[in-house]
């Protein structure tokens, strides 16, 4: 397939390397200096890993020209509903995931199930902890927010998350750390006076995220998928 690669940071370069090894072609590379070229490059699909301040316009340009777009940029989701509405109006294809790793998406399901189980055990307080490299711009990470939102959807005693250490009983604390080198670690801990219950996912390299995005893009092209899509659709979870 012919890929328009939008964003050329660490993730973009990893996607480029893996895609070429798998026999795909990089039709063009977009960064902050040539965003207008999104409207011109001929490609089968776009993969967008840029910056929070650029993601909305990048995705918008793809949808306006009816180019399927796979987006993994986090930190811009206050505008995601606008993109989804436009995508439906244009009969376009927009795939969004906060994390493209198969392991992380299995972790999401385990986390949601555990939160539901913990409704009956009020002695346990829950928190989310995430570690990323120092160049990551947003905190908490999009993956940590997904984890927190899944807990809030299933654990009745929590109604909001907060990114600091002091929370009220109905708030879920997310602790964010920026350490090099650290592709990404996420954990959920339920603590009581008696013991702790903890689940954790640790990424050893960012290749798992990059490979997942490439596989999703290929699936969209081969299956001619349309509409609003996510990892549940791809993995059939």
| Contact between 1 and 221 (Cβ < 8 Å) | yes
User: Looking at the domain that runs over 2-100+207-235, which CATH code has it been given?
Assistant: 3.40.50.720
Question: Are both 2-100+207-235 and 102-202 of the same fold?
Answer: no
Contact call for residues 161 and 148 (beta carbons, < 8 A): yes
In contact, 39 and 16? CB cutoff 8 Å: no
Q: Catalytic pick from 13, 66, 113, 132?
A: 132
What span, in angstroms and rounded, lies between the C-alpha atoms of 149 and 59?
24
Count of beta carbons in the 10 Å neighbourhood of residue 15: 29
Q: What is the DSSP letter of 223?
A: H
Owner of token pair 């013991």? 195
List pLDDT tens digits, range 107-163.
999 999 999 999 999 999 999 999 987 666 677 888 899 999 999 999 999 999 998
225 catalytic per annotation: no
- Domain 102-202, CATH 1.10.20.10 — does that match? no
132 belongs to the catalytic site? yes
Each residue of 61-110: pLDDT tens digit? 999 999 999 999 988 989 999 999 999 999 999 999 989 999 999 999 99
Global pTM value: 0.82
Domain boundary assignment for the chain? 2-100+207-235, 102-202
Catalytic residue among 136, 158, 186, 201: 136
- What residues contact residue 116 under an 8 Å CB cut-off, 6+ apart? 154, 155
């Amino acid at each position: 397939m012919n890929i328009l690669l939008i964003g050329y940071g660490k993730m973009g370069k990893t996607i480029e390397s893996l895609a070429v090894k798998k026999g795909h072609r990089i039709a063009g590379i977009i960064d902050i200096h040539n965003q207008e070229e999104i409207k011109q490059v001929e490609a089968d699909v776009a993969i967008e890993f840029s910056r929070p301040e650029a993601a909305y316009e990048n995705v918008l340009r793809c949808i306006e020209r009816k180019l399927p777009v796979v987006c993994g940029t986090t930190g811009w989701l206050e505008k995601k509903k606008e993109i989804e509405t436009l995508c439906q109006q244009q009969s376009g294809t927009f795939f969004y995931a906060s994390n493209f790793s198969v392991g992380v998406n299995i972790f999401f399901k385990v986390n949601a199930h555990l939160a539901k189980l913990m409704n009956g055990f009020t002695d346990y307080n829950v928190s989310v902890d995430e570690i990323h490299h120092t160049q990551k711009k947003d905190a908490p990470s999009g993956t940590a927010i997904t984890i927190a939102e899944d807990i809030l959807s299933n654990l009745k005693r929590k109604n909001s998350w907060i990114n600091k250490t002091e929370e009220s009983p109905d708030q879920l604390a997310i602790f964010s750390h920026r350490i090099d080198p650290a592709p990404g670690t996420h954990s959920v801990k339920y603590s009581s006076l008696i013991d702790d219950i903890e689940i954790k996912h640790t990424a050893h390299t960012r290749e798992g995220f990059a490979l997942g995005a490439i596989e999703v893009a290929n699936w969209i092209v081969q299956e001619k998928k349309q509409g609003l899509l996510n990892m549940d659709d791809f993995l059939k979870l």
